Amino acid sequence: MARIVLGVGGGIAAYKAADLLRKLTEAGHEVTVVPTASALNFVGVPTWEALSHHRVASDVWSEAHEVPHVRLGRHADLVVVAPATADLMAKAAHGLADDLLTNTLLTARCPVLFAPAMHTEMWEHPATVDNVATLRARGTTVIEPASGRLTGADTGKGRLPEPAEIAGFAELLLRRADALPYDLAGVHLVVSAGGTREPLDPVRFLGNRSTGLQGYAIAAVAAARGADVTLVAANVDLPEPAGAHVVRVGTAAELRDAVAKAAADAQAVVMSAAVADFRPDAVVEHKIKKSGTAPEPLRLVENPDVLAELVANRRPGQVVVGFAAETGDAGATVLEHGRAKLARKGCDLLVVNAVGEGVAFGQPDNAAVILGADGSERAIGFGPKPLLAAAVCDEILARLGN
């Protein structure tokens, strides 16, 4: 169990912080909510106290004998600020401390995570841009806001990322405090995620168990680390990661075209999608009905090898990462199959993980070994999928640097 301070800024998105609070407490963490006075105009003290089971104050004078403005920051394992308004980040960047939350930010020596939420013009204003850069330069994590419907009828960049995504980043920083440095700025990263589907008729398809969780985790972590992320999503039903541009596809052919187009100017490509190896040689135009007799045998043809094509056509210096979801068999172990696939495909990195019933696909946790074409092997123990995502980003950055 970790001790988390949840700072809540004075924005309309404060109501979403209640869901974030519940996710953090249900994960077993002890959470103390520190709202600003403005935030209490949106969500009141009784709500925060009921959900956190702790007293809530916004000023330094309540229970002053306990010196809360020092105690909270010193004892916290993580501080999460959501929503982080433009005003709040400006105060943090310039060391201003006029309430309990800003005092806590000055005394905290643990990882600090800001989840911004504001109108697009405010996010893009030079003052906010400079303040965010200052915070990041000091080692503070400021994730990208999401795009979509804002307060009122307009849309744009500035929405609070989904509480589940923020909670995922919080868990990641608790596991690994250095997992989200702002070190991928200027890198265009293409990530494929999910599982392709090959139609048999207007109703049925050949598919696989991939849900896209791992690919979405890679996209989210990379965007938080500053990358310009294009996420090619095959049949994924998940909230879009904040800061990523999502291209939706269905079949292997559609994924192949979308990835090839995006990879044309990318520094790195991560092929984490489960791409169907085969497709029916013909698609029936109407729904296939029961006839009382066995249907004709289904004839399959091979799909293009998207990963091999990426390797063959990659730009100079481009890093290509493949995934190998293996089960092992009588002939070889999961890792042996992975090493053989790495040699066969010729990619720079191959992430090898075991799959099966209740393992990897659709699960929040994963374990893998990252194999390098240079002979390196990095084992990532069982943990949340963003933890593996951060390791993949580390390995990409190391090779881009070389």
Q: Which residues are catalytic?
A: 208
Backbone phi and psi for residue 296, each to the nearest 5 degrees, phi listed first: -60, 145
- Asked if 377 and 370 touch (Cβ cutoff 8 Å), the reply is yes
Buried/exposed 79-98: b ≥16 CB within 10 Å, e otherwise: bbbbbbbbbbbbbbbeeebe
Which residue matches tokens 């795009």?
A: 147
Strand 3-8 to 319-326 pairing: unpaired
Three-state secondary-structure class, residue 337: helix
Three-state secondary-structure class, residue 244: strand
- For residue 371, give the amino acid letter: L
Distance CA 74, CA 105 (A): 10
Which residue matches tokens 């799909």?
A: 303
How many helices (H) does the chain have, and how many strands (E)? 13, 19
Could you tell me how far CA 106 lies from the centroid of its own chain?
A: 28
Distance CA 343, CA 28 (A): 43
Distance CA 377, CA 350 (A): 10
Distance CA 118, CA 89 (A): 11
Distance CA 185, CA 267 (A): 11
Tokens of 312: 């063959």
Give CA torsion, residues 373, 375, 381, 385, to 10 deg: -10
DSSP annotation of 195 reads: B
Q: Looking at the DSSP assignment, which residues form a beta bridge with residue 384?
A: 365
Tokens of 135: 């915070």
Which residue matches tokens 């659709």?
A: 362
